[in-house]
Structure 1
Amino acid sequence: MLPSWLVIGIVTFAIALGSSILRPKDVKWFNRLQRPRWLTFEKAIPLIWTVVFICGAWSAYIVWERTQNWGLMAFYALVEALIVAYSPVLLWTRSLRNGTIVGGLGFILGLVLTFLVLPISGIAALLLIPYLIWSPIGTYTTWEMGRLNPESL
């Protein structure tokens, strides 16, 4: 039997692969959009998401070890799937509004997950904080890009 940390890591990685289902023409469209002048950290975004996913998986591991609760694991997977859906939804529909909606919904579900996890483990809840910090930044950036590119709403 595989250790739970490995299973959680594999599931996290498998779900994260969903964000790579992108068409080059859609990426090209996105790269042509105007960005806010303050968006100077765009090259760090892959590293930021890597940290967010590692922290989320670590949080899930702690919760699993304490509860063996499949419902909570499904909720972790749902939040990650929503995070991963952001790029395909935004790019396939070529709609910054849709990206903003997915980002906002992901934040709300991440907040709910954090409150569900808090009574189980304060550390597991703290490990979700990077997502709760980054998600609104990413969502606001997408919203701001919509303002700069109204034809792409």
Structure 2
Amino acid sequence: MIPSWIIIGAVTFFVALGSFLITPRDVKWFAHLSRPRWLVFEPLIPIIWTVIFICGAASANVVWQKNPGGIITWLLMGLYLLVEMITVAYIPVMLRFRSLKAGEILGLMGLISGVVLGVCVLPISGLAGLLLLPYLVWTPIGTYTTDELKEINPQDA
């Protein structure tokens, strides 16, 4: 039998590959946007998201280990998957539609679904809830940054 952490890690990895739906033309649009002066951490964003995805997968594995195969566990795995899909969709959707508003909406959807996930997971495992904290801290920062980009680049809102 394949260990759950391998399956959860593989699903996380393959869903994250969805970010490769970005075309060079889309990236050029985003690269030309004006940025707030305080946005000095932009080069660290890929590392930050890698850590967040690893923590999310670890959280899912902790929840799975508490009650493997239970109906509530499967529903939570679906919620973990939904949160990751919303998160991964943020960049490709925003770039494809060249709409910062679309990115902001997905950021808010990710935050809300992440909070719901955290509330559902916390009674099952404090560790699983703690592992969701990076997502719950970073998502509002990313959403706020997108909102600031909208303010600075109203023509691309």
TM-score for the superposition, normalised by structure 1? 0.99
Identify the residue that residue 53 of structure 1 maps to in structure 2: 53
Question: Structure 2: which 5+ runs fail to align?
Answer: none
Identify the residue that residue 15 of structure 1 maps to in structure 2: 15
Task: Give, as a single letter, the amino acid of the residue that structure 1 aligns with 2:139.
Answer: S
Question: Structure 1: which 5+ runs fail to align?
Answer: none
- How far has the Cα of 1:115 moved from its partner? 0.3
Identify the residue that residue 71 of structure 1 maps to in structure 2: 75
Identify the residue that residue 30 of structure 2 maps to in structure 1: 30
**2: CA distance between counterparts of 1:123 and 1:35?**
36
Q: Secondary structure of the equivalent of 1:77?
A: helix
Deviations 1:18-73 (A, max 9, x none): 01110100001000000000000000000000000000000000000102221110
Q: What's the % identity of the aligned pairs?
A: 59
TM-score for the superposition, normalised by structure 2? 0.96
Task: Give, as a single letter, the amino acid of the residue that structure 1 aligns with 2:11.
Answer: V
Q: How many residues align?
A: 153
**2: CA distance between counterparts of 1:104 and 1:71?**
21
1:149 aligns with 2:153: yes
> Which stretches of structure 1, 4 residues or more, deviate above 3 A after TM superposition?
none
CA RMSD of superposed structures (Å)? 0.5
1:5 aligns with 2:5: yes
1:119 aligns with 2:136: no
